[in-house]
């Protein structure tokens, strides 16, 4: 059934789970598809790089979310910095994040913003 339906292709990032359980919103349970044949699918766990081969028969009744084919999500990441962190270090972090996103166009469309939203100097 997997081989005929083709819910994913080599290189796609997928999340696999029960059809009755809500999807993990942080995407940490994603697998990268490395090989698909008639009887099995080989995937690599995105977080730990573990390699697994799963029977297509076991995958057929599961909920498969293809993160590559899904609409692009907007991801917000909140970072806390001490008041003593120099602006140069924050600018360096921003440039590294921009390079990371730009180098991975298959996973990220763009970095839409990087901004200061709250200053709590009394908390250090």
The Cα 51–Cα 33 span in angstroms is 10
Structure tokens at 24: 């993990």
State pLDDT tens for residues 59-71: 888 888 887 777 6
Tens-digit pLDDT profile for residues 46-93: 888 899 999 988 888 888 888 777 766 667 777 888 878 888 998 899
Note whether 6 and 62 are same-domain residues.
yes
CA–CA separation, 16 and 59 (whole Å): 8
CATH number of the domain enclosing 54? 2.30.30.60
In the chain, the number of structural domains is 2
Q: What is the pLDDT of residue 116?
A: 74
- Residue that is last in its domain, among 66, 93, 113: 66
Measure the CA–CA gap between 59 and 39, rounded to whole angstroms: 10
pLDDT at 22: 65
Q: Which domain holds residue 92?
A: 71-124
Q: Which long-range contacts (CB under 8 A, 24 or more apart) does 45-53 make?
A: 46/13
111: Cβ–Cβ under 8 A, 6 or more apart, which residues?
Answer: 97, 98, 101, 102
């Amino acid at each position: 059934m997997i081989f005929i339906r083709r819910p994913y292709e080599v290189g796609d990032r997928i999340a696999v789970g029960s059809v009755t359980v809500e999807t993990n919103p942080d995407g940490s349970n994603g697998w990268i598809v490395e090989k698909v044949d008639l009887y099995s699918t080989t995937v690599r766990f995105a977080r730990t790089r573990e390699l697994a081969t799963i029977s297509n028969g076991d995958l057929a009744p599961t909920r498969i979310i293809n993160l590559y084919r899904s609409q692009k999500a907007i991801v917000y990441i909140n970072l806390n910095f001490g008041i003593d962190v120099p602006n140069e270090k924050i600018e360096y972090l921003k440039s590294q994040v921009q390079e990371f996103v730009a180098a991975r166009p298959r996973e990220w469309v763009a970095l839409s913003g990087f901004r200061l939203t709250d200053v709590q100097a009394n908390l250090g």
